[in-house]
Structure 1
Amino acid sequence: MQDYGLVSIITPTWACAAFIAETIKSIQAQTYQNWELLIQDDCSKDNTLEVVKPFMKADKRIKYECNPENSGAAITRNNALRRAKGRWIAFLDSDDLWSEDKLEKQLRFMVKNGYHFSYTGYEEMDEDSNITGVRLSGPKHVTKLGMFSFCWPGCLTVMYDREHVGLLQIADIKKNNDYAMWLKVIQKADCYLLDECLARYRRGRKGSVSTHGYGTMIRWHYKLWHEAMGMNAVTSLFWTGMNLVCGVYKKLHYVKNIAVDNGKH
């Protein structure tokens, strides 16, 4: 297999002791093995470190660090990004999973086509790792205008070329911090879809900030544009509105429901 260079996998974690072992195993199962896993713990109060320790002892590619204090997802990702040594930056939260050929296929896709920023399709699973039948994708080519209109990539599917993009650090916002990152990457490179389902997103986990109402979502989007991107109120409201409209478009065109059985997959 061709060696495309080191992949730094950014894995922020908080209170995911029940799931992180499964996540680590999905990384170790990758057909592409030139990677480092950077686990950045935001001061978990459960036994996350105890779960991770045996993996670190057996596999030196797995590296754990804890924030000095509880800081939120944005700062946690920033801290992990500063630790990264790889050319390629990939993201996988500590309760999500990858298909075993995810890295290999995505690297080949990017190198063959000269892409510096890409994402893939993914599917949802429930808290018990059962596939729900929901699959998501997006536009094949996302420009700067397209990325401002909506956050098309799922964080667990994104990869970018750090040699081209550089070191990224994002504003300290509670929600949409991954979107803030893609808005920075898109300034340097368009984003391209590898239209295969190569990851699994855990939906509806208790305590997850991904479960929220529309009012909260609107406020978080406004804060992204106004605080993280430094836009005035009118412009921030415009892009918040565009995000809502494109969110409806995504549900109509890029979200599919397929029949599944009731077992784990």
Structure 2
Amino acid sequence: MFAQLANALPHFRNTNSGQFFLMAGPCVIEGEDMALRIAERIKHITDKLQIPYIFKGSYRKANRSRLDSFTGIGDETALRILQKVGREIGVPTVTDIHETTEAAFAAEYVDVLQIPAFLCRQTDLLIAAAKTGKVVNVKKGQFLSGDAMQFAVDKVRQSGNEHVILTERGNSFGYSDLVVDFRNLPAMQQFGVPVVMDVTHSLQKPNQSSGVTGGQPVLIETIAKAAIAVGADGLFIETHPTPATAKSDGANMLPLDQLEGLLTRLTTLRQALQDTGSIEALPA
């Protein structure tokens, strides 16, 4: 499964560490300097730990609770920053799209197109993303089982694109909470695609009365360790130098200065599981 991703992302082709891969970065692109600093820091950490890395940043936030919530610094401005991060830091990049017209536009700047969880059943959006030829990362809807994501994979593949990733991000529990059912990871791996655990979004507390999503970042390491133990191919972590001042999703992001320690512990866990035969090494 990892080999499929490596074939689609040239930056991954020389990676043979056997580690999980990482999608990480700020929730939204807030500016060029911040994006480059975050990407450079994460690249330094992941190089040291031999973790394949994809820089994540939304060029626009379309799903906001309130009209006055921050949505972005301008579509083309943010996409050009993502492109610059990819070129200067030397990593693939991922951003989310929301409408069919955005697919070809965003594909000019990034390597991976992400389909938000709420939109994972939007057939035209999946087809448009697939037809760009880019890797398509489909987040599992909060309202779906892992098994149901077979149809999202089929839509992308039947549109001529074999480069699919599925991402687990929890299931709705009541009106303002999410729970993670780790059975969904092996269920989605049965479709022959890399499966990622979105560690930070799965800890959201949505639909708060204030209109600002809450979170439980204290549990980031718990969810990440469980995902590695289950055999996740990759992790998705939103991180920011100062989450309290972030313009989006600050309540559930990991402080950037805590990332290296977390990843170090996770790579140790991954290696221990491989050594005991509890989990297979990812192929080069």
When normalised by structure 2's length, the TM-score is 0.30
Which structure carries more relative contact order (alpha carbon 8 Å, separation 6+)?
A: 1
Give the number of the structure whose residues are more often strand, by fraction: 1
When normalised by structure 1's length, the TM-score is 0.32
Give the number of the structure whose residues are more often helix, by fraction: 2
